Amino acid sequence: MVKEIERAGLPVVHMCTVVPISLTVGANRIVPTVAIPHPLGNPALSIEEEKELRRKLIDKALKALTTEVEEQTVFEQ
Amino acid sequence: MGKYRVVHYINQFFAQIGGEEKADYRPEAREGFVGPGMAFNAAFGDKAEIVGTVICGDSYFNENLEAATKEVLDLIKSFEPDIVIAGPAFNAGRYGMACGTVASTVEKELGIPAITGMYVENPGVDSFKKDIYIISTKSSAAGMRDAVKTMAALAMKLAAGEEIGASAEEGYIPNGIRVNFFEEKRGSERAVDMLLAKMAGKPYTTEFPMPDFDRVEPRPAVKDITKATIALVTSGGIVPKGNPDHIESSSASKYGKYDIEGVFDLTESTYETAHGGYDPVAANQDADRVLPVDILREYEKAGKIGKLHRYFYSTTGNGTAVASAKAYAAAIGKELVADGVDAVILTST
């Protein structure tokens, strides 16, 4: 899906937990996430802590979207 | 000569421990066969026997890749196998990645032959087909009987150190390795035969399939994110409570488009997941954990992004055919471009 939307002309950031799958299918901008059932959250945290976690992940995603890439790139930091 | 010692790797589902709620099950070893191992033992006859089964939950394996691989490998090693069989995983993506990782690591680090089985669209196929033999199976466990037969036959050949034939003969997914042999007919004759068959609309098999490099060039970065309209898309199945479009829990036949004008937070009473391929508890409690509407609204208000697009798109990614996903995303992409969206955040579970 990432690839087809990108083919249509838009930069896409793929936020997912199983990065090897994302690399195999051909996503260009990848942000690794927390866990399969809750990629952008963690039920073990308080609501505020969880929101902070989500903000950090979204910050990474926005950074990925504003970074020029020439090949598949995993944004760890 | 004694029987070959086989170790079988399976997930929590095939071990009958549980479904998605048990997908974080940690590696465990049991003596003898478990679940589908019974069919393998029957297929081996008196040539081989499953001496041990190693079980691991699919989410645990994929979320803790390095640690889980090591734990599983140590358990496999403790049974001193002659050959290792993983799966088959059919079209289960995480299970396929786990089986591929286990089989390829067993070969690499223990020097023991290992095979697995998967449906051709499983992401584990592209990741591991060059490293190990992956028997081509049907997309669901309905294909177990055929899969076991073909996998057992190849496993016995490998254990015995026999020569392995071409992919079409042995039933594995082509691994790109070419072997020299003498054809009965010379090249010019075969080429003309193939051309005639093609012209007559008859089936023919190419001797040199073109590699499929389906890659998309990265699009340029967003210049000014504070003015950009960002759309959310997910394969994690987030839908308004009650799943109004009846998106299937697996092998989705459609995607949904949902208006989030005026929605600032996804709550337990308003949104849920339709996805049947992961434990839905966390997503049902708070769908922002999969589709981060709350934070993007916050950023929109703070001027960190221009705008969150009025609609989000959702489907369930498990077991869904690649061709369907491709078609949905092509349609979604076209709409997003026409609606003036600048960039997309796509979340997967």
Over residues A2-30, the pLDDT tens digits come to 999 999 999 999 999 999 999 988 999 99
Q: From the list A1, A13, A39, which residue is nearest B290 (CB)?
A: A39
Residue B9 banded pLDDT, cuts 50, 70, 90? very high
Of B181 and B3, the structure prediction assigns the larger pLDDT to B3
Cβ-Cβ pairs closer than 8 A, A with B, add up to 199
Residue B70 banded pLDDT, cuts 50, 70, 90? very high
Domain that holds residue A21: 2-74
pLDDT of B213 > 70? The answer is no
pLDDT of the residue at B172? 94
b/e per residue B171-183 (b: at least 16 CB within 10 A):
bbbeeeeeeeeee
B162 & B231 share domain: no
**Would you tell me how many other CB atoms lie within 10 Å of the CB of residue B186?**
8
Please answer yes or no on whether A8 and B288 come within 8 Å at the CB atom.
no
Mean pLDDT across B326-347 = 96
Domain that holds residue B85: 4-170
Task: Report if residue B282 sits inside a domain.
Answer: yes
pLDDT of B69 > 80? The answer is yes
- What distance lies between CA B186 and its chain's CA centroid? 40
B141 & B236 share domain: no
Percent of residues, chain A, with pLDDT higher than 70: 99
pLDDT of B178 > 80? The answer is no
pLDDT of the residue at B210? 66
B328–chain A nearest CA distance, Å: 8
Which residues are B231's β-sheet partners? B344
Q: From the list B127, B330, B349, which residue is nearest A37 (CB)?
A: B349
pLDDT of the residue at B204? 85
Please answer yes or no on whether B347 and A40 come within 8 Å at the CB atom.
yes
**pLDDT tens readout for residues B222-261:** 999 999 999 999 999 999 999 999 999 988 999 999 999 9
B163 & B254 share domain: no
The count of domains in chain A is 1
Please answer yes or no on whether A38 and B63 come within 8 Å at the CB atom.
no
Q: What is the mean pLDDT of chain B?
A: 93
B152 & B230 share domain: no
Largest CA-CA distance found in chain B, in angstroms, rounded? 75
Residue B319 banded pLDDT, cuts 50, 70, 90? confident
The count of domains in chain B is 2
Percent of residues, chain A, with pLDDT higher than 90: 91
**pLDDT tens readout for residues A14-72:** 999 999 999 988 999 999 999 999 999 999 999 999 999 999 999 999 999 999 999 99
Amino acid B182 reads F
B165 & B229 share domain: no
B14 & B163 share domain: yes
Residue A65: its H or E element: helix A47-65
pLDDT of the residue at B211? 61
Please answer yes or no on whether A40 and B289 come within 8 Å at the CB atom.
yes
pLDDT of A74 > 70? The answer is yes
- Chain A residues touching residue B304 (CB < 8 angstroms): 62
A70–chain B nearest CA distance, Å: 6
Domain boundary among B135, B170, B205: B170
Are A15 and A33 contacting, i.e. CB atoms less than 8 angstroms apart?
yes
Percent of residues, chain B, with pLDDT higher than 70: 99
